[in-house]
């Protein structure tokens, strides 16, 4: 049972009451039992009305856009009912609205214009911080939500998290990832087998070492998440390596701002080289968001296409690239681990650079099975797991 009076399917337990309401036609102020003051605009309240005049009660999606409400809508009267909800009568010809205090408190943009959604914040690391992938026992991963949440919490925070003892069965990685959300298929398939192949269509399918890289840098969207499940490993060598690309980029930004500027603004080309597909993408190697924060790294030496920069930038660009690669290779950044059958490693492919050491394919068998998904699915699943806990609180009140 969802709570009535909210425009979504979530739960909003609240330890505080609305003690006092003040309003003008344009805005409303609440004073809470803990003395906190919250303000809301009339237009914002009208826009977020959970009632059937605005919100479809089946889909909980908005039926009437704000633009189609009376242009002169304003607060005529506001009061708190005995059950604690806020009731608003409007100046225009428009049905009354009611708002749950817990929902209002959770969306108090006057005090916090970027409310915390409860997900773990990313923390960058090198091998002084992490000496092995954060690990959760995965025996019960298909059944136990606590195991799922512990694993995903690590993935949200470190961009890297391992499950141990996941049944080493063909197809198991897909079953595990479906616990989070849909898999993202690519030209390499729905899932893919990382084994040596007679006629490889990627260096990944040989026994050579792979330098630290992101996957599918050739695409408009690099997959947000990658999963590798070890089914068999009796070869020598082939250790996995992980580098927190955000940590490397942060350090370059401090140590060599000129190189950082080049790496984060000049465009490189990535191209795949295949018989049936021809993906290309042009992008800086370090991608910042509009606020200058690290958003993504693109780094796959074996998929770099011919550099196509203005002529006089070319040598400088190669020098910056050289600097970046040497930095990524510094041992302080490289977390190294063995793949044991049953290990399932997940990482943020837009932040973490993964690689492997060479192995001897003549001596034994090595079989990793992998797939991709998106960071959206990780965040959605963590929010739903938290929502389920809130539902339990509401249910017992």
Instruction: Please count the residues of the chain.
Output: 397
Q: How far is the CB of 25 from its own copies (least distance, A)?
A: 12
> Which CB, 281 or 347, lies closer to its own copies?
281
Q: How far is the CB of 112 from its own copies (least distance, A)?
A: 8
> Which CB, 89 or 282, lies closer to its own copies?
282
Q: What is the DSSP letter of 317?
A: H
366 neighbors 235 (Cβ within 8 angstroms): yes
> Which CB, 310 or 395, lies closer to its own copies?
310
239 neighbors 336 (Cβ within 8 angstroms): yes
Q: How far is the CB of 14 from its own copies (least distance, A)?
A: 16
Q: How far is the CB of 169 from its own copies (least distance, A)?
A: 22
> Which CB, 10 or 244, lies closer to its own copies?
10
Query: Using CA atoms, how far apart are residues 243 and 249, in angstroms rounded to an integer?
Result: 11
Q: How far is the CB of 109 from its own copies (least distance, A)?
A: 5
Q: How far is CA 176 from CA 61, 179, 374, in A?
A: 30, 5, 14
Edge to edge, the sheet with strand 97-99 lists 75-80, 86-90, 97-99
Q: What is the DSSP letter of 120?
A: P
> Which CB, 52 or 234, lies closer to its own copies?
52
> Which CB, 162 or 253, lies closer to its own copies?
253
Sign of CA dihedral 149, 191, 227, 265: negative
C-beta neighbour count of 74 within 10 angstroms = 17
β-strands 240-244, 335-337: how paired?
antiparallel
Q: Which residue has the tokens 């580098």?
A: 243
Q: How far is the CB of 107 from its own copies (least distance, A)?
A: 5
């Amino acid at each position: 049972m969802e709570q009535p009076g909210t425009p979504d399917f979530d739960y909003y337990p609240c330890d505080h009451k609305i003690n006092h309401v003040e309003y003008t036609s344009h805005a409303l102020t609440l004073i809470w039992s803990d003395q906190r003051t919250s303000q809301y605009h009339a237009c914002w309240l009208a826009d977020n009305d959970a009632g059937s005049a605005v919100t479809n009660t089946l889909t909980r999606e908005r039926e009437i856009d704000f633009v189609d409400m009376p242009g002169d809508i304003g607060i005529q009267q506001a009061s708190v009912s005995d059950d604690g909800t806020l009731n608003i009568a409007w100046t225009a010809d428009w049905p009354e609205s009611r708002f749950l205090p817990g929902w209002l408190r959770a969306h108090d943009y006057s005090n916090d214009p970027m409310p915390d959604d409860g997900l773990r914040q990313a923390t960058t690391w090198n091998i002084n911080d992490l000496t092995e992938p954060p690990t959760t026992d995965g025996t019960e991963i298909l059944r136990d939500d606590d195991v799922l949440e512990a694993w995903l919490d690590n993935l949200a925070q470190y961009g890297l998290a391992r499950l141990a003892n996941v049944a080493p069965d063909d197809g198991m990685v897909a079953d595990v990832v479906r616990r989070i959300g849909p898999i993202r298929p690519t030209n390499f398939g729905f899932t893919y087998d990382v084994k040596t192949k007679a006629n490889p269509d990627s260096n990944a399918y040989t026994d050579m070492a792979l330098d630290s890289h992101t996957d599918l840098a050739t695409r408009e969207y690099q997959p947000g998440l990658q999963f590798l499940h070890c089914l068999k490993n009796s070869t020598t060598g082939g250790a996995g390596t992980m580098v927190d690309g955000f940590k490397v980029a942060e350090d370059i930004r401090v140590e060599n701002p000129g190189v950082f500027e080049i790496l984060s603004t000049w465009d490189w080309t990535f191209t795949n080289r295949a018989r049936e597909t021809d993906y290309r993408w042009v992008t800086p190697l370090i991608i910042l968001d509009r606020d200058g924060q690290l958003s993504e790294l693109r780094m796959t030496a074996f998929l770099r296409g011919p550099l196509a920069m203005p002529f006089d930038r070319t040598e400088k660009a190669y020098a910056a690239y050289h600097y970046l690669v040497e930095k990524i290779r510094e041992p302080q950044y490289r977390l190294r681990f063995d793949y044991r059958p049953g290990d399932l490693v997940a990482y943020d492919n837009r932040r973490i650079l993964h690689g492997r050491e060479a192995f001897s394919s003549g001596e034994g068998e090595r079989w990793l099975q992998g797939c991709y998904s998106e960071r959206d699915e990780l965040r959605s699943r963590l929010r739903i797991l938290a929502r389920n806990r809130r539902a339990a609180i509401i249910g017992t009140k």
